[in-house]
Amino acid sequence: MKTTMMLVLAALISTPSFAKDNSKAPCKQIVQACEAGGYTKGGHKNQNGKGLWKDCVRPLKEGKTVANVNVDPTVVQACVAKKAARKNKTASAPVNTQPVTQSSAQ
């Protein structure tokens, strides 16, 4: 009985640490909103204008409205900023300028 109570208590205490924090994943929130609105990956090929990225995510990130999809503008701004920061980080990464040589011992 004591062991069971300890396990239950440990589970209750640790549960919040496993909860997802959607504020750290604004782009994922946009994707989820688009999916809830009926947009699917590759849908632009199969359906009439229901592609997940082409017809929903990209237009929202460009500040356009999309039918049947409601996303908080601050979430869109956070996603755009996150992607821009990632792009700038990648662009500013040091590039190895030394020539690649093959080792003579193969």
Q: What are the domain boundaries of the chain?
A: 21-87
Q: pLDDT digits over 60-72, tens only?
A: 999 999 999 999 9
Give the residue-averaged pLDDT of 45-57: 86
Judged by DSSP in three states, 41 sits in coil
Entry pTM: 0.61
